Chain A
Amino acid sequence: MTDRSTLLSLSRRRLLLTASALTAAALVATTGLEPTLAADSPKEGGDITFLIDSLGDTWIPNNSAISSFQGHIWGHVTDKLLYVDAEGKVSPWLVERWAQNDNATEFTLHLKQGVTFSDGEPLDSKAVVANLDIWYAGRKNEGINPIGLFPKTYDRAEAVDAATVKVFFKKPTLGFLPTLGYHGSILTSPKSIAQPASVQADLSKTAGSGPYVVESWKEGDHVTLVKRKDYNWGPAAVGHTGPAFLDTITYKLVSEPSLRVASVQSGQADVAYNASPQELKSLKDEGFTVATPRYLGFVNGWAVNTKLPPYDDVKVRQALQAGINRQEIIDTVYTPDWHLATSFIQSNVPGATDQSALLAYDPAKAEKLLDEAGWVKGANGIRTKDGKELSLTLHSNPYLATSKSVDELIAQQLGRIGWKVVIRAYDVVTYGEKVKFGGAAVPTYEVTRSFIDAGTVAGILTNANNGENWFALDDRDTKINDLRDKIAGAGSIEERSPLLNDLQKYVLDQGYFIPRTQIVQRIYVQAPTLKGEVYNGVAYASYYTAFIAD
């Protein structure tokens, strides 16, 4: 608990970074300790089996760290420089203290000492520089990709002494520190980094500094992790820094969701990942722990292509916004564990504001807007204008298992007010090729995306600085570009918050973004005896603090 004061004073230095560093530190000190304090005292020992639907593709750390599947293993095998919790608060981990210059182009990181990788290498300033370099650049000709979300403004990093690293950027980069706590930024041994891609692809040959090490693995089958006994540098925010309690964690691939759940129900396994939402209620009734943590990011919804008729008409977009019964989606496809969207960013993101009024289900209003826009209902119930049907092609997001069901339900809802909805479902590969923001045949792009800091949102939505131009607006909408520039230039949270509020209101009112529900991309069903796990800002479960209660 001596950490508390340093945490507080550190947080003040970097007021700009997170929502409110003061409350953040206070919250870390109170709620952060909850997992272990709330339950009975943790018991040493025990083995758990975690059933997962896939173990992803490659194990090259750079290429796999952000994968929805491998991220679980990396989270136990490796550490990060900073910790980001479920509310987006940044706190120290392997970086104990940090400082930055006024225009956020230079950062000094002070490392915790005595940390080692599982291959015996020290985690010192040289190791950190090697990691920063490979995150930024990768080794493209070898097949080692850069980390896509790492700031492109990175210039270089220098080891000042064994425990101090200085990082330089070409332009102000406020997002740098939160990036260090993100799932892509995992620290691996410099020896592992130097290995060629084919060696890095063998999980057992990569050394991290995490509380677990890989004992055995087989591709497409399982990964077994075993506790590292000399580990004592866990993040203070989770309330425990010593070795983990559980002896082993086995991640076992079972591709059928119903089999994963049935195995946990019959006591053959401890955790089932990505259960079907429909089964959660009865599981809860049977006494199983059901966790539906939300990540920090956009809600699940559509970015509308404003170049593609009829979605260039604001009235049609607004009709779409009012024509979706979001409560029915939650009632039918999901459970009450899912939250109604209140904006286009998740409500747990610092800076999100409640715009529910703009998202109310109002079919009468939707029909009126469509009438006004000149779309007339025909005999078959489908609206037409100038001989063209009012159609909407949905491309179900292959990264979200429930996407197809939601699409089907929305198709029924929109069908009632005269929309002809066609659903296309591609596999991940084809989807990546054919479905893009603002694509010629893509009226709505279904978003599932986490982000680091709400301040980056405006940049993603528009085309500035290689932004992703989600609504294909280019430079046509001066208001949104104006807001973007103001947000980028805001000097404090207080200055930025009202601007973010304006942005959310404007984007939703214009029907640029059509939210569906707040997203839960990771669903955990857990045996009642397993307690004390912690979920981080990207909704990964960490069993570092978990134990088996009697």
Chain B
Amino acid sequence: MSFVSNSPLSGTANTGRLTALRMPATVALSFAIIAIILAWSLAPQFFTTYSPVVGVPADKFLGPSFSHWFGTDHLGRDLYARVVYGTASSVSSALVAVVIGVLFGGLIGLLAGFLGGWVDVVLARLVDVLLSIPKFLLAVIVVTAIGFETINAAIATGVSAVAFFARVTRSEVIKTRQATFVEASYLSGGSRWYILLRHVLPNASRSVLPLAVLQFGESILIIASLAFLGYGDPPPASDWGLLISIGKDYLKWPWLVYAPAFVTIVTVLSVNRISRWLRKTD
């Protein structure tokens, strides 16, 4: 709703641009957190000296301490190292999900909105079908069909987001197409593809970007939930959702759940904050 209420037409748009330059502290913090998360996923070896795979079996279930920030797990592996090394897979799988959702959803929405007619009707039914199945149920069914792995969980999550992005893109495209400047461009003889690339696509993508960022956070959670139900990579993978899922079997040692859960929550919170800020400033 706030997407509508914050549309550029509202009177607050101009002041919004000004505040954009002065980034709120929480947004800055969010960017800092995301920067750390990205660094973890790109170069985990700089952040920990422990191996995420090989542990010291005698050191199992140590509590958090200076030598093991998040404690150790049931095989004596450093949990902080497991979290850091699991970041790449957690982040990239969420990215895959977003890309699938945005690309396929965007394409469907673009075609439906721009071409209209029977194409629109057929695609609308397809989107309706995807929408009518509860998203998480859809993800579970898809991941079952293609196999229990993190990448497949990412694909399933992406598929479950296709309908949403298709709808958003379609309505954005229709809105832009009806805008006066596009009408004018038609009248002045611009080709369909030129108009699509020059006017429709940029406008649509501007509204889709914050939603894609939001979807990124959501995908992390859905993939974690799928991992929690057992639809993730086999060991010794250490995606955050898998870590929480493994940790729940050892609730006597609560840090095994709380540490990866904390990292997940903070990451998603940061992503959501950034998405909100993007929508406000756009």
- A residues contacting B by CB (< 8 A) are 256-258, 262, 276, 278-279, 282, 328, 331-333, 396, 404-405, 407-409, 411-412, 415, 423-427, 430
With CB as the reference atom, state the residue of chain B lying closest to A407: B235
From residue B238, how far is it (CB to closest CB) to chain A in Å? Answer: 11
Which single member of B53, B61, B250 contacts A412 (CB below 8 Å)?
B53
CA distance A1 to B234 in the complex (A): 55
Chain A residues within 8 Å of B58, by CB = 331
A257 to B249, Cβ gap below 8 A?
A: yes
Q: Which of A257, A332, A396 gathers most chain B CB within 10 Å?
A: A332
Contacts A278-B74, A332-B57: A424 and B234 contacting too (C-beta < 8 A)?
A: yes
Chain A residues within 8 Å of B61, by CB = 278
With CB as the reference atom, state the residue of chain B lying closest to A259: B251
Show 28 A/B contacts (Cβ-Cβ < 8 Å), sorted by A: A258-B249, A262-B251, A276-B250, A278-B60, A278-B250, A278-B252, A328-B57, A331-B58, A332-B76, A333-B74, A333-B75, A404-B235, A405-B74, A405-B75, A407-B235, A408-B236, A409-B57, A409-B75, A411-B53, A411-B236, A412-B53, A412-B54, A412-B75, A415-B54, A423-B234, A423-B236, A425-B235, A430-B147
Q: Does B248 contact A (CB under 8 A)?
A: yes
CA distance A411 to B57 in the complex (A): 13
Which single member of A256, A282, A332, A425 contacts B60 (CB below 8 Å)?
A332
Q: Does B16 contact A (CB under 8 A)?
A: no
- B residues contacting A by CB (< 8 A) are 53-55, 57-58, 60-61, 74-76, 147-148, 230, 234-236, 248-252
Which single member of A258, A328, A331, A411 contacts B252 (CB below 8 Å)?
A258
With A278-B60, A408-B236 given, can you name 7 additional A-B contacts, CB distance below 8 Å?
Answer: A282-B252, A333-B75, A405-B74, A408-B53, A408-B235, A412-B53, A426-B148
Q: Which of B61, B74, B147 gathers most chain A CB within 10 Å?
A: B74
Main secondary structure of the interface of B (DSSP, over half): loop
CA distance A290 to B53 in the complex (A): 31
With CB as the reference atom, state the residue of chain B lying closest to A283: B252
CA distance A278 to B251 in the complex (A): 11
A430 to B54, Cβ gap below 8 A?
A: no
Q: Which of A257, A328, A425 gathers most chain B CB within 10 Å?
A: A425
CA distance A426 to B230 in the complex (A): 10
Chain B residues within 8 Å of A258, by CB = 248-252
B57 to A427, Cβ gap below 8 A?
A: no
CA distance A258 to B76 in the complex (A): 19
CA distance A79 to B51 in the complex (A): 53
CA distance A430 to B248 in the complex (A): 24
Chain B residues within 8 Å of A408, by CB = 53, 75, 235-236
With CB as the reference atom, state the residue of chain A lying closest to B231: A427
CA distance A427 to B75 in the complex (A): 23
CA distance A404 to B230 in the complex (A): 13
From residue B129, how far is it (CB to closest CB) to chain A in Å? Answer: 26
CA distance A404 to B248 in the complex (A): 15
Chain B residues within 8 Å of A427, by CB = 148, 230
Chain B residues within 8 Å of A425, by CB = 148, 234-235
With CB as the reference atom, state the residue of chain B lying closest to A282: B252
Chain A residues within 8 Å of B250, by CB = 258, 276, 278-279
From residue B81, how far is it (CB to closest CB) to chain A in Å? Answer: 14
Chain A residues within 8 Å of B57, by CB = 328, 331-332, 409
Chain B residues within 8 Å of A423, by CB = 234-236
Chain A residues within 8 Å of B54, by CB = 412, 415
Nearest 6 CB-CB pairs, A to B?
A425-B234, A332-B57, A258-B251, A408-B235, A412-B54, A423-B234
